[in-house]
Structure 1
Amino acid sequence: MEIANDNGRFISILSDYGFKVTFGNEVDTTFLKKALQALINSSVPIREVSFIKNELTAITIDSRSGIYDVACIDENDNHFIVEMQLSEYPEFIQRMKFYALHRFNTLVKKGEYRFENLSKIYCIGILARVIFTQISDYHNVSFLRNAKNETIDDQMVFVTVELDKFSKEKNQVQTDLDKLVYTMKNLHTVTETSQFPEFWSEEWLKKAIAEVDLRNMTAEQKLAYEMVLSANALAVKNENKKIKEARLEEKKNAVIKALKAGKLSNEEIADYNDTTIEFVFAVQQDLVNVK
């Protein structure tokens, strides 16, 4: 899914900057409250929300590209963790469990290791790609159930949205969840207000859209946006470098193993490991020099 802002009007909500100024907007939480209510499939409005220190970012290593974590609590002491994931990540649900369990342990410690009356935890993952290939629904709410689908415990709830599965046109959008996902997936492709669907005039969406409208941004906000783009570009470059180095090291180790086995010619080793004969000779020379 492309999130580039090539039309010169709207920044994608899926971008680092876009996610921060909408979901992570600490000045005006109108959009966040309505979005959370839609994501957890609740009929009860969230009236107040306060942000809490996201302790998770300090203990995990992740690419900065397209990721901005939000942690907050509502007026009923329900805890919310929201995470955006743009790239392929089949094991994302494992990371969600890690985040939720970390929050669970924090609550238990604060309660002096008591387990009664624990606050509810909603761990929400918004994914650009598909991770549940066996499930057709783009939105899933999960908690602990038995084999008969009877609820065992719903203190910890996992919510996932897979944007690639959402294909509704604007005239098919009905629920607040549909409105949210349609907006996240399509806003950055729109160039003029004449293309706006009617539901974008709703207050919660209108406020979010205004935050990512380049025409509304001050010089300071545009500078902040440019700095985020620059930081992301550097992060992606460094990450690609690490991946390239890791793959090279993996290939080198495979060649070393083949050379030590002595069963294949250098040409065969190069062919089997999808590398050049010069690379094999270089690795072979390194082995000789070490000896």
Structure 2
Amino acid sequence: MALEGLQERYVNFYTDFAFKKLFGTEVNKDLLISFLNALLSGEEEIKELTYCEHEKERKGIFSVYCMNEKGEHFLVEIQKAEQRFFKGRSAYYSTFPIREQGSKGNWNYELKSVYAIGILNFSFDDSDPNYYHHEVKLVNIKTTQVFYNKLTYIYLEMPKFRKTESELENLFEKWLYAIIHLPDLMERPQALRETVFEKFFRVAEIACFTQQERVAYERSLKNYRDWYSIAETAEYRGWERGYNMGLLEARAEARAKGRAEGRNEAKRLIAENMIKMGMKVNDVCRITGLSMEEVKRIRS
């Protein structure tokens, strides 16, 4: 397999190879420990991790499963593209570490905490363009109090994290910045001078790979690019169909209402068709030029 096409200095974190190498290997588990402690912001202080059996790739989803020294379980996943029922499958796989804690004999159902963490290379919530860190627990709807605090889902919508290097305020934000920008960097940023990032960038440097690792990474990168291309093409085809349908309807309507009013109505009809096709509010606004408030009114 040809390797000359690799121009980046560091790996793409969203590939299976990179994710497993950086966060899923015994020799580099201190990187995952640092990330988890930063993510949990003092709720947990993990000192040691033990890796459990890795799962195989599941259509663009890679995961590592581990336990800390207290016996608490961490299922860390990276998802390249949105799936229709990704919340459902997240809940489904979180039951595995719960069921594994079952014990024979006189067991009182005392469970250790389970954390299901999703690093998402897509956005699923259009309500707030800046709300990227979702932490979900079982809650009593009436009292808004946490009903059960040993099951936590954490979703990170990575495309929504847009802070620049100079704006980074804490270790957690530095981790997000490093993950997102890793393949675009040629040097370690000044803001990421902690010892853990020195190792992170050293391990991620392609030039330090063995020939076997380079071949494995190139294969993983190709799979990532193919997956991204398929997802992008499907999104474009959906937009194109919606646009063409809306354009035909809008033209007929515009002729009846006049040029000026017709242009606005055309945009609204196009937006309506796009929404019916399941496109996101931000994309509809960008393509039609309508404000978010107008698009939300159309959607409602």
TM-score (norm 1): 0.69
Query: Which of 213, 222, 226 matches 1:221?
Result: 213
| Distance change >3 Å, CA 164–CA 146, structure 1 → 2 | same
Partner of 2:198, secondary structure, is helix
- Distance in 1 between the 2:112 and 2:69 partners? 11
Q: Which residue of 1 aligns with 2:265?
A: none
Q: Using CA pairs below 8 Å that are at least 6 residues apart, which structure has the higher relative contact order?
A: 1
Aligned to 1:62: 58
Could you tell me which amino acid in structure 2 is paired with residue 190 of structure 1? Answer: L
Match of 1:210 among 180, 202, 219: 202
CA shift, 1:28, in A, is 2.5
Residues 211-234 of structure 1: per-residue CA shift (max 9 Å, x gap):
22112222232233234346x379
For residue 62 of structure 1, give the secondary structure of its aligned residue in structure 2: coil
Distance in 2 between residues matched to 1:144 and 1:214, nearest whole Å: 42
**1:130 & 1:233 partners in 2: Cα distance?**
18
Residue 71 of structure 1 corresponds to which residue in structure 2? 65
Question: How far apart in 1 are the matches of 2:58 and 2:75?
Answer: 16
Q: For residues 111 and 191 of structure 2, what CA distance do their matches in structure 1 show?
A: 37
Deviation at 1:197, TM superposition (A): 2.4
Q: Which residue of 1 aligns with 2:113?
A: 120
Match of 1:48 in 2: 48
Structure 2: gaps of 5 or more residues: 235-300
Q: Are the aligned partners of 1:141 and 1:159 in contact in 2 as well (CA < 8 Å)?
A: yes
Equivalent residues in 2 for 1:150-229 (5 A)? 150-191=145-186, 193=187, 196-229=188-221
TM-score normalised by the chain length of structure 2: 0.67
Change (3 A) 1:90 1:227: closer
The answer to whether the Cα contact below 8 Å between 1:40 and 1:159 also exists between their aligned partners in 2 is no
Structure 1 residues 227 and 208: alpha-carbon distance in aligned structure 2, compared to 1, 3 A threshold: same
Structure 1 unmatched runs, 5+: 244-291
Check conservation: 1:7, 1:190, Cα contact below 8 A: no
Residues 143, 156 of structure 1: 8 Å contact kept: yes
Letter in structure 2 aligned against 1:114 = W
CA contact (8 A) 2:166 2:191 kept: no
Equivalent residues of 1:9, 1:215 under 8 A apart: yes
Q: 1:124 to 1:150 in 2, by over 3 A?
A: same
Comparing 174-183 with 85-94, which one deviates more in the overlay?
85-94
Measured after TM superposition, the shift of residue 45 of structure 1 is 2.7
CA contact (8 A) 1:46 1:74 kept: yes
What SS class does the counterpart of residue 208 from structure 1 fall into?
A: helix
CA deviation after TM superposition for structure 1 residue 236, in Å:
5.1
Per the alignment, do residues 164 and 90 of structure 1 end up closer, same or farther by CA in structure 2, a change over 3 Å counting?
Answer: farther
Distance in structure 2 (CA, Å) of the matches to 1:76 and 1:82:
17
Specify whether residues 12 and 116 from structure 1 end up closer, same or farther in structure 2 by C-alpha distance, changes over 3 A only.
same
Bigger Cα Rg: 1
Show the 5 A alignment for 1:241-256.
none
How many residues get paired? 225
Residue of structure 1 equivalent to 2:13: 13
Q: Sequence identity of aligned pairs in percent?
A: 24
CA distance in structure 2 between the aligned counterparts of 1:140 and 1:34, rounded to whole angstroms: 19
| Counterparts of 1:180 and 1:80, CA distance in 2 | 18
Q: Secondary structure at the match of 1:198?
A: coil
8 Å Cα contact 1:90-1:131 kept in structure 2: no
Match of 2:75 in 1: 81
Q: C-alpha displacement at 1:26, in angstroms?
A: 1.6
The 10-residue stretch of structure 1 (202-211 or 220-229) with the greater mean CA deviation from structure 2:
220-229
**Partner AA of 2:11 in structure 1:** I
SS at structure 1 position matched to 2:65? strand
Aligned-residue RMSD, C-alpha: 2.7
> Is the 2:9–2:206 Cα contact (8 Å) retained in structure 1?
yes
- The match for 2:286 is none
State the secondary structure of the residue aligned to 2:220. Answer: helix
